[in-house]
Structure formats: structure tokens, C-alpha cells
Amino acid sequence: MCGIVGYLGPHQAAPLLLEGLARLEHRGYDSAGVAVLGGSGIRVAKRAGRVRDLSEDLPKRFTGKVGIGHTRWATHGPANDVNAHPHTDTKELVAVVHNGIIDNAAALRDELAEEGVDLVSDTDTEVLAHLIAGSGADTLEGKVAETLGRIHGTYGIAVLHVDFPDRIVVARNGSPLIIGVGDKEMYVASDLAALVRYTTTVAHLDDGEMATITSAGFSTYRLGASGLAATNRRAAHVDVDPASYDAGEYDSFMYKEILEQPAAAERVLRGRLDERFATGHLGGLNLDARELRAIRRIKVLGCGSAYYVGEMGATLIEELARIPADAEAASEFRYRNPIIEPDTLYVVVSQSGETVDTLLAVQEIQRKGGRVIGLVNVVGSAIAREVDGGIYLHAGPEVAVASTKALTNMFLGFAMLALQLGRVRDLSIADGRRLIAGLEALPHKIEQILATEERLEAIAARLAEAESLFFIGRVRGFPVAREGAQKFKEISYRHAEAYQTSELKHGPLALISPDVPTVAIVPDDELVERNVAALHEIAARGGPLVVVTHEDVALRGLPSDLAERIVVPRSERELDPILLTIPLQVLAYHAAKHLGHDIDKPRNLAKSVTVE
């Protein structure tokens, strides 16, 4: 959730570190710091606040051609200058930046205190600096390996040492690290965003792997009980446009990414719809027709928005393939000692491919012999490397914390998976062609919704004034309501609750009042009459309504001063959820903007959740 960047080369490190950190603020942003290694030793500058605050306070002669930097998302101790990274030992021989959580940090702090070490921060990370400095190993690699052998938990670390000024040593266990290879210079980062301006030749470290970075290149090792064993990690080119990490003319990445959804949708569908056989063409699943037919159950796992779109996907699979399917929060999955069935296909969903809760669920499934595939946006990410097969989302880099275009492509990935599963079973060729036509029409229909932004902005301004909101829907519409409530909570900081429409009368209706608006998802489907009846129950109690629906849905009898309609284009019923979701993204964005919030950096949140 925090961000790491490192540099070694012919240029001054500090400006490059600061620029890299600015590109990682979506990963953590309550404090920032840099350390450079020069002729006078290690110099550290850090402070609470944003990277721009650090840049303004940085001494003019902060020189050194080897350096590491960090943006922090607080886990141990509040956001202040002392708890900011990098952390050093007492003599400032060592500087460390760290993502993750050291589970036995309290015990290690006690040991160090008994030895007379003065710990100045509240963090778990500081113990690493003291342990590395106190190691008796002859090499920096040996000092780091010895220290990591004493800790339990997750980490992505980068280490400087005064006695080894020609190198940075990095290691990974549960928190991503990428090595970047430049022209006579080397980089390290926790996210490709920090590197793309300088190099697109990268190597991803695996869990349990360590690397030494020098001007000559990099070497990798496997951490084991018997010491360090060399690995043959190689760098490879990644196909990414650096402009994707620049907001350009837009006021936020979220707004840019909302508008990119038609193009992103076209990319994920391209080449994956088989017109001849009216099916999906997902070769990356690594499952043939016989294996697909043998699946008896689907279990979808994700966190946050990925969980809610997983619910949409499970509904799609049940409808089209007639296989029992359900979704569950990945963060809870392994803790209930799940039964892993051999004829169940497990589907994990993650934009970053580094979500630690989801990654741990993958490892639990595979430990028990289950088959797992992934819907992942980031090529080369940990989940993408660990799963048995999957669907890359091709949404392009998504920087904003609140997911928009990746979520849309997740839904489309599920639609293609459901179509392929359905066509090896009982889904007719006519229905297959109907759904393919519906999928191909979606990008244009998303454009039509985005063209109504001005009206959505006016509605959002009114919703933003409410302290609490309800989002309601049924069956296909309920996950849409959950995602809509999530977006409002994430970036407008308004209390928003999602309920099944049918559950209102079983308790939540007591909270309906003129001060609590309800955003209702009412597609023109088999439940439209029951949904409209529920709207009357809300209106009878003076509750304001915003109804996301189709053009011909009759809202007869609802007072015009209480009910406002948002119309989305019709699609195939199975595909309605994603079109019903798009206006909720726009509403949340404009509500947050109306309230003056920092939309890309919502408080207390980070883009890639790499700690439990």
C-alpha cells in the first residue's frame, strides 16, 4: 500500500526519487522521504504530508547518485516526520524503506531495547535498520538475509549501507518489487508507474527472492534455510505507454479513467468473441471444452469493488452456464478453513494483481489442490504469475484509487467467461449470438451514458448534501447498488449503505426520511413491478429518490418532486449491470468534486492493498 522507489546511476538521485514518489502517491501518501548515499555518508529527508511538501523542504545540496525513497500509508504509528521512511540505525550506517507488516516487530523491538538500542519511531520498519546494522555478516546481501531470517511477516524492502556504496539490496515477500534496467543506470520500484518515464525493461521479483542492484546490472537470489541460492531472473520489455500514467488535461485520474471506458471495453473484447461458434475465445484459461464441462461449481473471490463485480459475474455465470456460482470476500476466505472441491473452478479478481488478501486465497486454494484462474489487469503481477490461467483485462494503467475502467473490464471478462462456459453446455447458438451482439454494442452505449454528464453532475451536487444515502437493487441490480455505495463512501466520504430492495421493509425502512436519499437500480426486467412498488414505499415516507433505469420503465404515481430518473441505454438483460454502474461512477466523482475532496487520493485508502 506504500510506495518504494530506488535509483543507482550517473545522475543525482534525489530529483529522480521525488518524481518517482509523486507517481506512487496513489499507493500511500500520509508521509514521504528519501535517503541518498554520497561521499559524506547517508543523508535522509522525510516528513509527514505529500511528496510536494518534501520537495519544497529538501536541502539544495542533497547530493548522491544512489538513493531510495518511500511514500507511507500508516500501519504502525501515526503519520508524522519520525515515523516516515526511510529509517536508519543509530549510527546511520543503514537506511531502509519497507512495505508490508512485520508480525513479530514488538518482540524484536523488546530485544533491541534490552541490548541498549534507542528506538525513536513507532514503526515495525525501524527494527530492520538496526538488525541489518548489527549483523556480523561480511556482505550486505548476507546482512539482509540474516535479518530477514529473524522476521515474520510481509515485506518489500530496499536497503542502503555506507560500507557498500555501490549497491542497493532489495527483497520481496508478499509486497511487490520491480527492478528497472536503464541505460547505464538501474531502478527499483513497487509499481511500474514510478519507472515508465525511464525504462520499460523490468524484472519482477517473486516472494522469497532477493536482488543486488549495481551499475553493472542486477543479480537475484532465493532466500532459504541454507542461505542464498542464485536464481536466473531476467528482465523483459513491458508494453506500456508512459502517457497512461499522466492525467494530462484532466483534473484527476479518476475522471480520465471514467472517460477511457469505451476504449478500454473495446480492448478487452478484441479478438475474444468467436462469431462462428457464438462463444467466448479465452485461450488464457488453459482449459479445454472437456475440462470446462467438468466444472460443477464456480467460486469468485475479490476484495472491495472486485468483490462486488464478482457478484455480478457469479450471477452472469449462473444465468448463462447454469452452474452454481457465488462470490465471497477474499479477505475472509482462508480464515474459515474452506473446503476446496476438485470440480470447482475458483476465479480471483484483482486490478493490481498484488492484493494480498486475494493472493493468500490463491495460495490456500492451490495448497489444497484446487484450480484457480485470475481476472487481472497488471501483466506480470504476483497473482497473474501464480494462477493456473486467466483473463488479462487490458484496461490500461488505472491510477485512481476508486476503480472505474478496470471494474468495467472485469465485468466484461466475466461475461466472456460465462458465455464460453454456457456454450459448452446448454446455451443456444442464438443466445450466444445475441450476447455477442450485446457485448459489441456496449462501448457505444457507455459513450451515450457519459454524454449525459452535465445532468449527472447536477444530481450529484444534490446527493452530496446528504449525510447518509441508501443504494438499493435486486438480483442483478444488488451488486450494482453495492458498488455504487462503495464509490460514494470511497471518495465523497458520505455514509452510504446498500440493501436488497426486498429487504427494506425488514428493518432499513425505519431510516427513510426526507434527509436520506435513495439511489434505486431499476432495470426493465422481470422484477420491475416489484421494484417500482418499493419506490412507492420510500416516497410515501418522504424519501427522495434517484432512479437508475431504462427509458420505458413507468414510474407512475411517484411525486415528481421526490423522484428523479437517470436513463441508461437498453442492452441484453444479462449485460445490464455494467451500464447501470457507469452513472453511479459519474455521480460519485461529481459529488466528491462538489465537496472539494482530493478525488485520486481519498483519505485512509490506497490503490494496491498489500497488507492484511
> For 346-396, what is the HEC assignment?
EEEEECCCCCHHHHHHHHHHHHCCCEEEEEECCCCCHHHHHCCEEEECCCC
Q: Spell 11-46 as b/e; 16+ CB within 10 A means b.
A: ebbbebbbbbbbbbbbbbbbbbbbbbbbeeebbbbb
Match 494462477 to its residue by C-alpha cell: 387
Q: Is 589 exposed, middle or buried (0-12, 13-18, 19+ CB in 10 A)?
A: buried
Catalytic residue selected from 143, 405, 601, 607 = 607
Cβ pair 154, 356 in contact under 8 A = yes
Single out the residue of 32, 47, 125 nearest to residue 82, CA to CA: 47
Transcribe 323-351 into DSSP letters. Answer: --EEEEEHHHHGGG-----TTEEEEEEES
Give the active site residue among 2, 46, 65, 445. Answer: 2
Q: Are 522 and 547 in contact (CB under 8 A)?
A: yes
Number of other residues whose CB lies within 10 A of the CB of residue 235: 16
Contact 533, 558 (CB under 8 A): no
Cα–Cα distance measured from residue 255 to residue 253, given in angstroms and rounded to the nearest whole number:
5
- Cα–Cα nearest to 399, from 124, 29, 24, 99: 24
Of 241, 200, 193, 201, the closest CA to residue 4 belongs to: 193
Q: Are residues 348 and 383 in contact, defined by beta-carbon separation less than 8 angstroms?
A: yes
Return the closest-CA partner of residue 168 out of 177, 178, 179, 160: 160
Q: How far apart are CA 429 and CA 423, in angstroms?
A: 7
For residue 39, give the amino acid letter.
Answer: G
Which of the 8 DSSP states describes residue 443? Answer: H
**Edge-to-edge order in the sheet of strand 371-376:** 325-329, 297-302, 344-350, 371-376, 389-392
Q: Is 607 a catalytic residue?
A: yes
Catalytic residue ranges: 2, 607
